[in-house]
Structure 1
Amino acid sequence: MSLLHLFVLSPFLFALLIPFLYRYVRKVHTGWFVLVLPVALFLYFLQFIKLTSNGEEVIRTFEWIPSLDINFTLHVDGLGLLFALLITGIGSLVTLYSIYYLSKDKEALHNFYVYLLLFMGAMLGVVLSDNLIVLYTFWEITSLSSFLLIGYWYKREKSQYGAQKSMLITVFGGLALLGGIILLYMMTGTFSIREMIANLDSIKGDALFLPALILVLLGAFTKSAQFPFHIWLPDAMEAPTPVSAYLHSATMVKAGIYLVARLSPVFSDHAAWFILISTFGIFTLFWGSFSAVKQTDLKGILAFSTVSQLGMIMSLLGVGSASLHYDYLENNIFIVAITAAIFHLINHATFKGSLFMVAGIVDHETGTRDIRKLGGLMGIMPVTFTIALIGSFSMAGVPPFNGFLSKEMFLTGMVNVLKMDIYNLETWGLLFPVIAWVGSVFTFVYSMILFFRTFTGKLQSEKLEKKPHEAPLGMLISPVILASLAVIFGFFPNILSSTLIIPAMKSILPTIGQNGGEFDVEIKHWHGFTPELFMTIGIIVIGTLLFISIKKWSRIYTLFPKKLSLNYLYDKSLLGSETGSNQLMKMFMTGYVRDYLLYIFTFFAVLLLSTLFVQNAFSINVDDVAPIGLYEVILSLVAVGGAVITVVTKQRLVAIIAAGVVGYTVSLFFVLFRAPDLALTQLVVETISVALFLLCFFHMPEISKKQKKFRFRLTNFIISALVGLVVTTFGIASHSEKLFNPISEYFVENSYKKAGGENIVNVILVDFRGFDTLFEITVLGIAAFGIFAIIKLRLTKRGEREHEGK
């Protein structure tokens, strides 16, 4: 295992130490110990910038399950490194912020930091894994750890609801992703992303290509909160603010973005990839920004704004994927969409992370996040005000902050759609710049609401739970750093061009440079009098007017009935599934063993028998069957008679003896077939079974006289006959149709040679399947200990009661 593997797995290893640190070092906040790890990881990944900037990649492989083509292969290229730096960099700032946000005296910090480290390690595994099965494994760990983080305050009903909602939706997407991965493997014969990209020609025309594409996008859309799966993200805001700042602005919700970017070289040739990603993304942008305006909770506004921004990045990736349909000289105008997606990915992490931390500071220092109760905090919290100013105006796309630059590039990418002559965009492509502009207007409006409603106006001290004051220095460090980056990247954006943006673009569009083309990224504020400039002016002017007159037009939100909302549909479907499952369980779970056997045997008989005849698999071949002698006939009649008596008798003792007759008859069959060891084993087992049955039934009450009358049940008879028919039919068919040589020949040849034993049965149990036998004995031993403990517990309680009675 390489050093890179150890660094990626280090969060999981460090998580094991947290409970011990929390237990034995109570005087120091646990976060100080945790902070060391993400900082060290960030510094470690920084050293790869020089390699990826030169077009190099780092690949390290650890063989995990090579027989199934599942190896833990880590691949550090431009795209993976960008996400790794975001995960560890933002993770460091969030950990520092959490030290001052979460009290070491009131919070279960060991739980919080264990969950946080699990998530950090899982995200690193997702963005650096080359093997799709390994990626999926980490993908599901992110869902699990985010569930734990969202439900951290598990005693709150809203936290439970939000955690459950996020789990159900993202795990559904994860299962869809697994299906897509399996289909990709069926087409390519590999789980390696690099190998899939290298052999694209072999899968483009495959019938499984489109289903795989749709399943992969389901996984990406659910994780990145794309419409209509976005409904889990606002409810996830019940998590502590450090969680929201980390998971729901910079990392987890970007996992779907990463997946789309990583697999774009595989799927981008298909029209569905462009159409689904770009259309769902652009609509998510509009719907998220439109919904954010009506929110009254600071984190609610930020949640829907995150949905909107994710839709923006997703639409850019969709539009940018179309650049592969053009020669390099022509597609130079189209790859700006990919450039904008990567640049905004970085920008969004800076301004949205700082804004989430601002929301946490306001809540922490005033006791509320409700903008109807806030206002006038500018003079009381000047540093927080400044951070909010930078973050809000950057998110709104106002110069000179970094959000303005990536927003301009976004508008350029949408306008360039009109220049594409593929997928009939000449007819419906106008929707992209129009919806992008409308969504950007609402983005400006909610950004102004977030800033001005919180920090300007009149202070409403009587509505606040605490006397407001500026946050402590430690809580301000992280948002100050993020806000500073928003300013620095705004004035000096090209420091990211060759170091992070171009290497990431080469990962997303690896075929662009095949014809000698090179990526040229130069980000600047002034591009002349372009359509994007006039769109930006319109956004600011119309957005300002809408913000000023919001009370006059905000009533439109009341026109949408709640019964038509996606949340209402989700709640009703969940309630309906619970009600339906309860009714189904009441129908089947009657409490009677005979009913359960009826269901099991019916399913067994109908399914197997129908399959046997539908597949035309039944055949009879008696060529190699030994002749049936008189002894076999007599023993068969005795066994059948014993079985019949067991069923019809109403006396337990007779039933036990009759069942024993069946078992002893089977042992006589083994004697006839010259298998004395099996006969001896059967005799021992049967003797013990009969003795135990007698012991158990001795303590049971006598059978009621009302039950002694025998009643014939036609349903039970039919099902019993069907089960017997199925078993007999399968026995005959399996003997008649031998598709391969029986494994018994292998044991006959190798029992003595390889295991040194002449008794084949014993050799099989002890040597060939020794581990199986060992585990069976272990299970039986554990069960025996459990039964013994239960008996002792009952006796102890009985003894205590008798003692108390005395």
Structure 2
Amino acid sequence: MISVLLLFAPVAAALFVPFLASRLRGIHTGWFVLAVPVLLFIYYMGFLPQVKDGGVHIGELSWIPSYGISLTSYIDGLSLMFSLLITGIGALVVLYSIFYLDKAKERLGNFYVYLLMFMTAMLGVVQSDNMIALYGFWELTSISSFLLIGYWYTRDRSRFGALKSMMITVFGGLMMLGGFVLLYLMGGTFSVRELVSMAPELAEHSLFTWALVLVLLGAFTKSAQFPFYIWLPDAMEAPTPVSAYLHSATMVKAGLYLVARFTPIFAASEIWVWLVTSVGVLTLFWGSFFAVKQTDLKGILAFSTVSQLGLIMSLLGASAAAFHVEGAAETMFKYAGFAAIFHLVNHAAFKGSLFMVAGIVDHETGTRDIRKLGGLMALMPVTFTIALIGSLSMAGLPPFGGFLSKELFLTGMLSLGELDLFAPASWGTVLLVVAWIASVFTFIYSFYFVFRTFTGKHKPDLLPKSAHEAPAGMLISPALLGLIVVAIFFVPNFVGDWIVKPAVAAVQPFMYGSPADVDVHVAAWHGHITPELMMTIGIVIAGLVLYWLLPKWQGAYRIFPEYLTLNRLYDSTMIFAETGMNRLSRSYMNGLIRSYLIYMFAGIVIIVLGSMVVKDAFAVSFEGTAPIGPIEIGLLAVLVASVVTTLIARKRLTAILALGAAGYVVALLFVIFKAPDLALTQLVIETVSVALYLLAFYHLPKLSRHDEKRKFRVGNAIIAAGVGLMMALLAMSASSQKALPSISQFYKDTVYSEAGGGNIVNVILVDYRGFDTLFEIAVLSIAAIGILGMIKLRLSRKGDQHEKQ
């Protein structure tokens, strides 16, 4: 229970942020917000011993028990690793933001509310065992990231990037929800743990592949996989602390988490293996290739993030391949799952530090344009050191953690050559070659980022500000992340035993029964030359040559026409949709209430009568109905005459009186059929309606029937006849075939004994339908207040006009 409530600790703290931001003039609000992720990080650290031994922690809070929906805090190796990243990196980002965001210029209250909201959403995603709760938190990440990306909402690019990210990720979320519903239909439960236990049975279901594809759409859109990656570069318009948190360590990894969490369910499908692996390798290559084209520091990091996310995604796909190989624990496939989790941790550390470095450069020089930068190493030595550590780790060079996970990545890609499912074994070789080429470009953009910024000729005349080293407070967070990157290289198995192996056991339960069974030992040198080491040497040589020749071939990017890009396709689609919807809206939104009523009535007639035809629901039976005598027939004749008079009247007064007569006749019918409450209501409504018509008589429009076109009147007649026919058939069919006994007997039996009343109508309104009546009163009250406000507004305007005169 406590662990579930702590999921909402950040958003609960956010309720106090506006108060603190407005009251604490001399203290940065971030110092108070910092306590939230720090305390949560310490709390989750306490689960490490339990999870390392293969244990799990489950906290549950019932939400909608009738539908099997609950809020769950399921902490195993995978969710604990993500929870530590969310709170640990979150704490460093908050610390960094204290020195990055000026409390005198920025709306800190808004920023920290959005950030804490996002923290709760991410914790909910990674700890939810219930798929519906997971979806709710998933969409909350999209909403909060929209607010964070659009934090500087006065900038056009910020609003555009926020909307673009939300459109794509929400689309993926809806697809994912469809996959969850299909899984529920197959397994009869929303619990991911229970679905994992019945994975073999689910794999035989006809809906299995559809669920697989829909879940992957959610994962691919959130983790910026090809072709959905286009939202991530535009999201760089967010403040740098947001980019360092959302787009390197947390939000973009939600899709990776989803694939990792559902791998035990979908690993039985060869489609899952090849689709996840292929899309991951393609994204790895695409992101790394186009990262070298960018001239904005955050743009380079955005495409490098796309590339690294593709790398991890491909490893998760390869880890699922172990399900299909005999003796998988003895093959290289066991390294794929370990490499995915290990590199995920490494990437969070070095990419978080690099984003903060980009923010520092922008903060201290006034620009992120790499064409204006250079020679900053002497002016910003500490920042250069941090950037060098992060960049070399991203390039996969020792002595940094990225080297170790990159070697494991190459091992995982080599293992694909042994796989022959429904695709030829040569397909694995193709993926290996593409991954190697992408690794070369990864090397290039890593060097491109750090050396083009900090070495070469200094260009002070191109900089908006005089470059200098950042304040110590801004350097603490990236420096700590840089130290983590170095420490992972020297003590990789400490991180592996306590964090990586428990997560791997959760991703590959078909291979490992507990974290102790994950027999992967990480080492920088294995005592002999390995194929992975030879591939690394080739990457370094090719990378150095291409980086040295970069000015000669970088212009090749201009060959690609802009009108053929995915961004142009997205823009064209949005413009087409907007203009098309505007044209469609203008075609029927003519401002006439009469037209809108025609649309609504026509739609109702089509839906209701169409449903009755499809379901063969027509039935007519007069059994048990009241007899119709001369009085009823006479009243009906008067009713018809009143309605016809209303339609053909040439004067407004005649139409109003005829309409009132029709209403009073209906009231008399209610009296005859012993419904005094309905009769009283009808009489009151008709009296008030006629009185209102007469009060507004002078302002009513003139009846000009001769100017109307004949076909318009015919259309009205058709719609009116259709509505009348529909209601008549619906009433007779409903009265003639009752699937359930009338509820009136229940009211008769309980109105006195249960509700303590004598008047059955009053008791129904006050007790049985008390909330309905309350809401009706509330609606009437709101309408009355609105009318009163409009009257006062009109009177005040008249008074102002008289004063001017």
TM-score (ref. length: structure 2): 0.97
Does structure 1 retain, via aligned residues, the 8 Å contact 2:390–2:482?
Answer: yes
Give the Cα–Cα distance (whole angstroms) in 2 for the partners of residues 209 and 761 of structure 1. 52
Matches within 5 A, 1:90-101: 90-101=89-100
SS at match of 1:752: coil
SS at match of 2:753: helix
2:92 corresponds to which letter in structure 1?
A: L
Q: Does 1:385 align with 2:404?
A: no
Does structure 1 retain, via aligned residues, the 8 Å contact 2:332–2:411?
Answer: no
Q: In the superposition, relative to structure 1, how do residues 429 and 11 fare at CA in structure 2: closer, same or farther (>3 Å)?
A: same
Give the Cα–Cα distance (whole angstroms) in 1 for the partners of residues 187 and 658 of structure 2. 59
SS at match of 1:513: coil
**Structure 1 residue 425 displacement after superposition:** 4.0
> Counterpart in 2 of 1:317?
316
2:480 corresponds to which letter in structure 1?
A: I
> Counterpart in 1 of 2:758?
758
Does structure 2 retain, via aligned residues, the 8 Å contact 1:648–1:710?
Answer: no
Give the Cα–Cα distance (whole angstroms) in 2 for the partners of residues 631 and 195 of structure 1. 67
> Counterpart in 2 of 1:181?
180
Give the Cα–Cα distance (whole angstroms) in 2 for the partners of residues 516 and 802 of structure 1. 84
> Counterpart in 2 of 1:534?
534
> Counterpart in 2 of 1:547?
547
**Structure 1 residue 142 displacement after superposition:** 0.7
Does structure 2 retain, via aligned residues, the 8 Å contact 1:323–1:331?
Answer: no
Q: In the superposition, relative to structure 1, how do residues 520 and 764 fare at CA in structure 2: closer, same or farther (>3 Å)?
A: same
Give the Cα–Cα distance (whole angstroms) in 2 for the partners of residues 189 and 442 of structure 1. 47
Does structure 1 retain, via aligned residues, the 8 Å contact 2:328–2:334?
Answer: no
2:755 corresponds to which letter in structure 1?
A: A
Q: Does 1:260 align with 2:255?
A: no
2:211 corresponds to which letter in structure 1?
A: A
Q: Does 1:734 align with 2:714?
A: no
1:532 corresponds to which letter in structure 2?
A: E
SS at match of 2:719: helix
Q: In the superposition, relative to structure 1, how do residues 270 and 737 fare at CA in structure 2: closer, same or farther (>3 Å)?
A: farther
SS at match of 1:64: strand
Deviations 1:103-162 (Å, cap 9, x if unpaired)?
A: 011111111111111111111111111111111111111111111111111111111111
Give the Cα–Cα distance (whole angstroms) in 1 for the partners of residues 592 and 297 of structure 2. 55
Q: In the superposition, relative to structure 1, how do residues 560 and 711 fare at CA in structure 2: closer, same or farther (>3 Å)?
A: closer
Does structure 2 retain, via aligned residues, the 8 Å contact 1:417–1:425?
Answer: no
Does structure 1 retain, via aligned residues, the 8 Å contact 2:53–2:516?
Answer: no
SS at match of 2:174: helix
**Structure 1 residue 801 displacement after superposition:** 3.2
Does structure 2 retain, via aligned residues, the 8 Å contact 1:328–1:517?
Answer: no
Paired residue total: 804
Does structure 2 retain, via aligned residues, the 8 Å contact 1:608–1:726?
Answer: yes
**Structure 1 residue 308 displacement after superposition:** 0.4
> Counterpart in 1 of 2:648?
648
Deviations 1:208-255 (Å, cap 9, x if unpaired)?
A: 222211111111111100000000000000000000000000000001
Matches within 5 A, 1:360-399: 360-399=359-398
SS at match of 2:754: helix
> Counterpart in 1 of 2:299?
300
2:569 corresponds to which letter in structure 1?
A: L
> Counterpart in 2 of 1:479?
478
Q: Percent identity?
A: 56
Does structure 1 retain, via aligned residues, the 8 Å contact 2:444–2:544?
Answer: yes
> Counterpart in 1 of 2:465?
466
SS at match of 2:700: coil
Give the Cα–Cα distance (whole angstroms) in 2 for the partners of residues 63 and 701 of structure 1. 58
Does structure 2 retain, via aligned residues, the 8 Å contact 1:100–1:475?
Answer: yes
SS at match of 1:71: strand
1:764 corresponds to which letter in structure 2?
A: I
Matches within 5 A, 1:124-139: 124-139=123-138
Give the Cα–Cα distance (whole angstroms) in 1 for the partners of residues 66 and 690 of structure 2. 46
**Structure 1 residue 516 displacement after superposition:** 12
Q: In the superposition, relative to structure 1, how do residues 540 and 708 fare at CA in structure 2: closer, same or farther (>3 Å)?
A: closer
Give the Cα–Cα distance (whole angstroms) in 1 for the partners of residues 712 and 318 of structure 2. 71
Give the Cα–Cα distance (whole angstroms) in 2 for the partners of residues 207 and 437 of structure 1. 37
Does structure 1 retain, via aligned residues, the 8 Å contact 2:375–2:457?
Answer: yes
Deviations 1:436-494 (Å, cap 9, x if unpaired)?
A: 10110000010010011001100011100111100000000000000000000011101
**Structure 1 residue 179 displacement after superposition:** 1.3
Give the Cα–Cα distance (whole angstroms) in 1 for the partners of residues 412 and 491 of structure 2. 21
**Structure 1 residue 678 displacement after superposition:** 2.3
SS at match of 1:481: helix
Does structure 1 retain, via aligned residues, the 8 Å contact 2:292–2:448?
Answer: yes
> Counterpart in 2 of 1:744?
744
Does structure 1 retain, via aligned residues, the 8 Å contact 2:364–2:470?
Answer: yes
Deviations 1:606-651 (Å, cap 9, x if unpaired)?
A: 2322222122222223333333322222222222221222222132
**Structure 1 residue 328 displacement after superposition:** 4.8
Does structure 1 retain, via aligned residues, the 8 Å contact 2:276–2:313?
Answer: yes
Give the Cα–Cα distance (whole angstroms) in 2 for the partners of residues 679 and 321 of structure 1. 70
Does structure 2 retain, via aligned residues, the 8 Å contact 1:328–1:512?
Answer: no
1:769 corresponds to which letter in structure 2?
A: R
Give the Cα–Cα distance (whole angstroms) in 1 for the partners of residues 589 and 541 of structure 2. 65
> Counterpart in 2 of 1:236?
235
Q: In the superposition, relative to structure 1, how do residues 708 and 357 fare at CA in structure 2: closer, same or farther (>3 Å)?
A: closer
**Structure 1 residue 701 displacement after superposition:** 5.4
Deviations 1:368-413 (Å, cap 9, x if unpaired)?
A: 1111111101111110010011000000001111001101100100
Q: Does 1:488 align with 2:511?
A: no
Mean Cα displacement is larger for which, 601-610 or 127-136? 601-610
Does structure 2 retain, via aligned residues, the 8 Å contact 1:418–1:426?
Answer: yes
Q: In the superposition, relative to structure 1, how do residues 576 and 140 fare at CA in structure 2: closer, same or farther (>3 Å)?
A: same
Give the Cα–Cα distance (whole angstroms) in 2 for the partners of residues 440 and 73 of structure 1. 39
Give the Cα–Cα distance (whole angstroms) in 1 for the partners of residues 736 and 97 of structure 2. 70
**Structure 1 residue 201 displacement after superposition:** 3.8
Moved over 6 A (4+): 708-712
> Counterpart in 2 of 1:583?
583
Q: In the superposition, relative to structure 1, how do residues 28 and 517 fare at CA in structure 2: closer, same or farther (>3 Å)?
A: closer
Does structure 2 retain, via aligned residues, the 8 Å contact 1:177–1:218?
Answer: yes
**Structure 1 residue 764 displacement after superposition:** 1.4
> Counterpart in 1 of 2:683?
683
Give the Cα–Cα distance (whole angstroms) in 2 for the partners of residues 368 and 348 of structure 1. 25
SS at match of 1:59: strand
SS at match of 1:430: helix
Q: In the superposition, relative to structure 1, how do residues 180 and 40 fare at CA in structure 2: closer, same or farther (>3 Å)?
A: same
Give the Cα–Cα distance (whole angstroms) in 2 for the partners of residues 61 and 712 of structure 1. 61
Matches within 5 A, 1:400-479: 400-479=399-478
Give the Cα–Cα distance (whole angstroms) in 2 for the partners of residues 252 and 771 of structure 1. 41
> Counterpart in 2 of 1:61?
60
**Structure 1 residue 513 displacement after superposition:** 3.4
**Structure 1 residue 295 displacement after superposition:** 0.4
> Counterpart in 1 of 2:768?
768
2:158 corresponds to which letter in structure 1?
A: S
Mean Cα displacement is larger for which, 213-222 or 658-667? 658-667
**Structure 1 residue 770 displacement after superposition:** 0.3
**Structure 1 residue 284 displacement after superposition:** 0.3
Q: Does 1:28 align with 2:32?
A: no
1:311 corresponds to which letter in structure 2?
A: G
**Structure 1 residue 332 displacement after superposition:** 4.4
Deviations 1:538-572 (Å, cap 9, x if unpaired)?
A: 11000111111112222321221111100000001
Deviations 1:630-684 (Å, cap 9, x if unpaired)?
A: 2222222222221222222132222222222222112111211122232222222
Deviations 1:773-799 (Å, cap 9, x if unpaired)?
A: 111111211221122122212222322
1:733 corresponds to which letter in structure 2?
A: S
SS at match of 2:203: coil
Give the Cα–Cα distance (whole angstroms) in 2 for the partners of residues 758 and 98 of structure 1. 67
**Structure 1 residue 744 displacement after superposition:** 2.7
Q: In the superposition, relative to structure 1, how do residues 249 and 749 fare at CA in structure 2: closer, same or farther (>3 Å)?
A: same
**Structure 1 residue 757 displacement after superposition:** 2.4
**Structure 1 residue 21 displacement after superposition:** 0.3
Does structure 2 retain, via aligned residues, the 8 Å contact 1:444–1:543?
Answer: yes
Mean Cα displacement is larger for which, 229-238 or 427-436? 427-436
Does structure 2 retain, via aligned residues, the 8 Å contact 1:289–1:305?
Answer: yes
Give the Cα–Cα distance (whole angstroms) in 2 for the partners of residues 182 and 639 of structure 1. 51
**Structure 1 residue 521 displacement after superposition:** 2.3
> Counterpart in 1 of 2:106?
107
SS at match of 2:71: strand
Matches within 5 A, 1:26-175: 26-175=25-174
Mean Cα displacement is larger for which, 492-501 or 788-797? 788-797
